[in-house]
Amino acid sequence: MGKNLIICIAIELVGIAAIGTGIGAELATKADIGWAIVTTGSCLVAIGGVIWGKFMRGGKNGIH
C-alpha cells in the first residue's frame, strides 16, 4: 500500500472512531456535544472518501 492510501484510510478510521465516541457521549450524558462529535466524525469519513475518489483513483483529472 502506498503512503497516500494509508493517509486516506487513517482519516476515515479517525472519523469512524469519532462517530462511535460521539454516540457514546450522547448516550451517556444526553449532551449536545455528542451530536457535534458525530458530525465531525462524519465529515472526516467524507473527506477521506473524497481524497480517495478524487486523487487516488487517478483518471483524467486525478493524480497517479
Give me the pLDDT at residue 41, please. 97
pLDDT for the residue numbered 2:
76
Q: In this predicted model, what pLDDT tens digit does every residue of 15-50 receive, in sequence order?
A: 999 999 999 999 999 999 999 999 999 999 999 999
Domain ranges of the chain: 3-56
- pTM of this structure: 0.80
- Burial class from Cβ neighbours inside 10 Å (0-12, 13-18, 19+) for residue 31 reads exposed
Q: Are 16 and 46 in contact (CB under 8 A)?
A: no
